[in-house]
């Protein structure tokens, strides 16, 4: 009897602390969001943009996953260099995942949080003025034009569907409209940047998957005259047997993208397809940390139905990455790699960080003797080399 009472007290205390953590996390996020809205939010573009200033541009008829508004970010410089960047922010492919979007509270409580469902002010932190988008000289891309395509639809920017689900008994709808948002965003980016001599199409996490899936359209439909194009994915590796069903039935992605997928590794499939169509017209870059704590959590969800990372999951990710690296060498065009093993004891849980291109790691942290910023900037200037491949030999 005493044991039962102690167990019940312990369970109640655990539930109480989880609720407290969730409320605290929501409060902190809301406080930061309010501060951004009041003082730091990028201004909405009205008229002609000033140089070297970030602006928000609302995209009419575009939607975030929860039905709220959608916008892009742009920054202009006096240059013909243009970076089109696909933001990341998780993924959802079923009703369970749809019902658990990212919130400050869910993160603080350690609860599953699969994708960002809107572009609340807090998300500006993830989109501009950090890593490759920072407006400081330590970022070698600070002098480029930028068009940022944010992400809030859970569908790798390629969806054309709606998913009905329930959240605590309340009926809701997830708008998988990433592809629709992409096309409207590119229409606006083209208006802002009519011509470009050098283009970098880059992305992180979910946006890194979008890069090989959507580069062909960017080139052929928006910048067919550009001959100097680099494509770069930072952290895009998830292996699933039923990607085809997700693409066809859940997201209803464009047929061209669906037809390009034929294995468990859609990243590799989409790069293979892109290379066969674009060939040497593009230069190809790929990066990943070697024991990615977040992607290993998603892979663990796929393999075992548990959204968490651990030593075993991180080792599986390492082995999958090693295999993918070898398979990249069999594709029709060369790829340059940047692998990194950076850890943060506050949150990586023994694994390595998830993405670096839009983190201070981009220019602050060296792998060997160089940073990702230096490696990528040299690469787009035709001085290409690999970094961190030795990490896959352990």
Q: What is the DSSP string of 176-243?
A: E-HHHHHHHHHHHHHHH----SEEEEEEETHHHHHHHHHHHHIIIII-TT--EEEEEEES---B-TTH
C-alpha closest to that of 83 among 142, 147, 149: 147
What is the pLDDT at residue 217?
98
Q: d(Cα 186, Cα 19) in Å, to the nearest integer? A: 41
Between β-strands 71-75 and 55-58, what pairing exists: parallel, antiparallel or unpaired?
Answer: antiparallel
Evaluate the CA torsion angle 351, 354, 357, 362 in order and state its sign: negative
What is the pLDDT at residue 168?
85
What is the pLDDT at residue 389?
97
**Dihedral class, residue 19 (left if φ above 0, else alpha if ψ from -120 to 50, else beta):** alpha
Q: Which residue has the tokens 């959608």?
A: 70
Q: d(Cα 327, Cα 302) in Å, to the nearest integer? A: 22
Q: Distance from CA of residue 52 to its chain's centroid?
A: 24
Which tokens belong to 16? 């109480």
Write 51-57 long-range contacts (CB < 8 A, 24+).
Answer: 51/76, 51/77, 51/78, 52/76, 52/77, 52/135, 54/128, 54/129, 54/135, 57/188, 57/192
Residues in the chain: 394
Mean pLDDT, consecutive 10-residue stretches, the chain (394 aa), reads 46 39 50 63 95 97 98 97 98 97 77 93 92 96 98 98 93 97 98 98 98 98 97 98 97 97 97 97 98 98 97 98 96 98 96 98 96 98 97 90
Beta-bridge partners for 165? 172
Between β-strands 228-234 and 282-289, what pairing exists: parallel, antiparallel or unpaired?
Answer: parallel
Q: Could you give the count of Cα atoms lying within 13 Å of 18 in the half-sphere of its Cβ?
A: 10
How many angstroms separate the Cα of 164 from the Cα of each of 106, 116, 145, 170, 361? 21, 17, 38, 11, 38
Look up the pTM and report it. 0.92
Enumerate residues 6+ apart whose C-beta is below 8 A from 118: 64, 65, 66, 68, 152
What is the pLDDT at residue 111?
80
What is the pLDDT at residue 106?
74
Q: Which residue has the tokens 């690469």?
A: 379
What is the pLDDT at residue 1?
52
2-284+380-393: CATH number: 3.40.50
Q: d(Cα 187, Cα 60) in Å, to the nearest integer? A: 12
């Amino acid at each position: 009897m005493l044991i039962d009472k102690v167990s019940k007290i312990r369970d109640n205390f655990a539930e109480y602390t989880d609720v407290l953590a969730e409320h605290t996390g929501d409060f902190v996020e809301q406080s930061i969001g309010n501060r951004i809205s009041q003082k730091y939010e990028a201004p909405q573009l009205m008229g002609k943009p000033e140089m070297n200033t970030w602006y928000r541009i609302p995209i009419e008829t575009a939607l975030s996953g929860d039905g709220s508004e959608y916008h892009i970010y742009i920054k202009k410089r006096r240059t013909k260099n243009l970076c089109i960047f696909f933001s990341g922010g998780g993924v959802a492919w079923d009703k369970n995942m749809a019902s658990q979007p990212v919130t400050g509270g869910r993160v603080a409580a350690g609860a599953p949080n699969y994708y960002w469902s809107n572009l609340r002010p807090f998300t500006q932190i993830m989109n501009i003025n950090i890593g490759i988008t920072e407006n400081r000289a330590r970022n070698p891309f600070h002098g480029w034009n930028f068009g940022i395509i944010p992400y809030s639809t859970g569908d790798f920017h390629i969806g054309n569907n709606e998913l009905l689900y329930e959240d605590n008994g309340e009926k809701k709808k997830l708008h998988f409209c990433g592809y629709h948002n992409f096309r409207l965003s590119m229409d606006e980016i083209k208006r802002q940047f009519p011509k470009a001599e050098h283009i970098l199409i880059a992305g992180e996490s979910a946006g890194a998957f979008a890069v090989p899936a959507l580069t062909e359209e960017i080139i052929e439909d928006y910048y067919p005259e550009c001959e100097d194009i680099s494509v770069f994915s930072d952290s895009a590796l998830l292996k699933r047997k039923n990607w085809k069903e997700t693409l066809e039935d859940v997201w209803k992605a464009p047929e061209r993208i669906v037809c390009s997928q034929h294995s468990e590794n859609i990243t590799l499939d989409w790069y293979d397809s892109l290379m066969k169509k674009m060939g040497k017209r593009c230069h190809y870059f790929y990066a990943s940390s070697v024991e990615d704590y977040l992607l290993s959590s998603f892979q663990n969800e796929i393999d075992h139905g548990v959204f968490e990372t651990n030593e075993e999951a991180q080792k599986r990710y390492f082995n999958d990455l090693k295999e993918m690296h070898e398979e990249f060498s069999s594709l029709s065009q060369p790829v340059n790699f940047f692998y990194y093993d950076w850890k943060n004891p506050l949150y990586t849980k023994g694994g390595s960080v998830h993405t670096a291109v839009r983190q201070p790691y981009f220019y602050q942290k060296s792998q060997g003797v160089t940073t990702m910023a230096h490696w990528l900037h040299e690469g787009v200037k035709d001085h290409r080399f690999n970094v961190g491949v030795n990490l896959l030999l352990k």
